Amino acid sequence: MQECIFPKRIDVCSHTVYENLLKKQPLQIGLSEKYITSFKKNDFIVLDYGKEMSGSIRILTYTAKNISVRIRFGESLTECCAELGGKQNATNNHSLRDFTVKLQDYSDMTFCNTGFRFVRIDFSGAAQIKSIVAQNSILNKKSLFVYNGEDEHIKKIFLTAKRTIDLCAAGKYLWDGIKRDRLVWIGDIHPEMLALTALYGRMKIIERSLEFVKEQTPLPEWMNWYPMYSMWWIIIVADYFTITGAEDFTVRQIEYISGLMDLMLNYVTEEGETNYPLNFVDWPTHETDDEIQGVRAINIIATKKAIQLLSRFGESCENAEKLLTRLMKKDIKVQESKSVLGLKYFAVGLNKEDKQKLIAGGAKGLTTFMGYYILKAVASFNKGKAIEIMKAYYGGMIEKGATTFWEDFDIDWLQNSCRIDEMPKVGQKDIHGDFGAYCYKGFRHSLCHGWSAGIIAFIKDECCFQLPINS
């Protein structure tokens, strides 16, 4: 569904008053407009649309003598005021977010296709503007599950996660994020699948995305170039079948799953050592000692689920069972990563030491990608603690102005940082521009990332009843 959203407020502007832009008017230019906004040379304005949007802005221009305007989009107020190539990593990666265009008399033009909440426009000359509306693409589907509990903190987390996945699932394929690389990253789709099926049940967009990546990856290639992403594909197919019972879709995947088992067996020795050409769990564990432990956990989960599917559809499990036997010869020994501990829980279960590591430091060590797995692991032995951690972590983003959940978040970022709808005060950190790591440093960091919506499945599983304290 595409919706037109008028700005909710004007955050920053030059000296002129621009309140007419907040008026809801017919989205059609006439020859005699009553409510227009006049801009002079060097005027600027920053519009806040109130929530994260996925799409473009539509400018209805009354008069403009072929002037140029610079348009900057931002998921935060500071991003839309940043300069490209600065120290906070403002970029035009994948979608243009900072560019110059021309306006014309009596025109109705649409610009850009990205994720944003704020738009800044700088005028090089005089213009009269009727309206500047956001054109937002968002999934419009009746939910099968809505959190109706009394806890307002959980309700806000649920609604924020729902908006996140509804924006990422508005098109034909399931996107990782709406601002940056709008790709079908199959290793990231498992928490997105859990969120969508919790909300809506069977979804063609999930099936279409799974088959798209399969078709792009003839064996013996690895999905998205990562062996672990091919493993995640198996996990997604299996869990999707368990949740939805989509037998007609699943049966078409069995031959490929069997081929993956044959391929993966070549990369695990008789002694249980893994020798994949590339190891990857998530960015925080990349090239750490815990990464190989996470790889083993993902491999075990995928192989167990492959055996279930192959058996269910009458196919040979011989190589899959050989692979599992080899993988189980070595223990998963996690030093500190809560993400890998979460995966270990789903692979083989946890010991007492693992459980202590999981709850140490509360929300410290969580990631938005692995939040579901970590919290489910904690809930397996302490549901009250898991919900407490969830509120602290996801509530921390909401506290900083989030209307969708982010690509990553560290609980330590809360200290002495501004909200995303504020400019930092002297001595304050910019929570968007001053943080992030790996491929998402500074303003390149996505503030609407589908994998963070996996928390919806956790809420459905663990929060729809009254919990005793420290249960």
193 plus 157 within the same structural domain: yes
Q: Tens digit of pLDDT for each residue in 80-109?
A: 999 998 889 999 988 899 999 999 999 999
- The Cα-based distances of 12 to 9, 17, 336 in angstroms read 9, 11, 44
Neighbours of 10 (CB within 10 A): 15
User: Residue 147 falls within a domain, yes or no?
Assistant: no
Neighbours of 94 (CB within 10 A): 14
What is the rounded CA–CA span in Å between residue 39 and residue 122?
9
Taking the C-alpha atoms of 316, 318, 320 and 323 in order, what is their torsion angle to the nearest 10 degrees? -170
**Residues whose CB is less than 8 angstroms from the CB of residue 231 and which lie 6 or more positions away in sequence, other chains included:** 260, 264, 298, 299, 301, 302
160 plus 299 within the same structural domain: yes
206 plus 315 within the same structural domain: yes
CB 83 within 8 A of CB 52: no
User: Residue 117 falls within a domain, yes or no?
Assistant: yes
Residue 245 phi/psi, 5-degree rounding, is: 70, 25
Q: Tens digit of pLDDT for each residue in 374-389?
A: 999 999 999 999 999 9
Joined tokens for residue 57: 């802005």
Q: Which band of pLDDT confidence, cut at 50, 70 and 90, is reported for residue 466?
A: very low
127 plus 269 within the same structural domain: no
Q: Tens digit of pLDDT for each residue in 38-55?
A: 999 999 999 999 999 999
Query: Strand 2-5 and strand 68-74: pairing?
Result: unpaired
Q: State the pLDDT at residue 169.
A: 97
The CATH number assigned to the domain holding 350 equals: 1.50.10.10
The CATH number assigned to the domain holding 54 equals: 2.60.120.260
Name the residue range of residue 115's domain: 2-137
Q: State the pLDDT at residue 15.
A: 67
> What does pTM read for this prediction?
0.95
Q: State the pLDDT at residue 66.
A: 83
Average pLDDT, the chain: 95
Joined tokens for residue 4: 């037109």
Which of 104, 137, 170 lies at the terminal end of a domain, its last residue? 137
CB 168 within 8 A of CB 175: yes
Q: Which band of pLDDT confidence, cut at 50, 70 and 90, is reported for residue 471?
A: very low
Average pLDDT over residues 201-229: 97
User: Residue 436 falls within a domain, yes or no?
Assistant: no
User: Residue 419 falls within a domain, yes or no?
Assistant: no
User: Residue 107 falls within a domain, yes or no?
Assistant: yes
Residue 11 scores a pLDDT above 90: no
213 plus 278 within the same structural domain: yes
User: Residue 181 falls within a domain, yes or no?
Assistant: yes
Q: State the pLDDT at residue 206.
A: 98
Q: State the pLDDT at residue 465.
A: 57
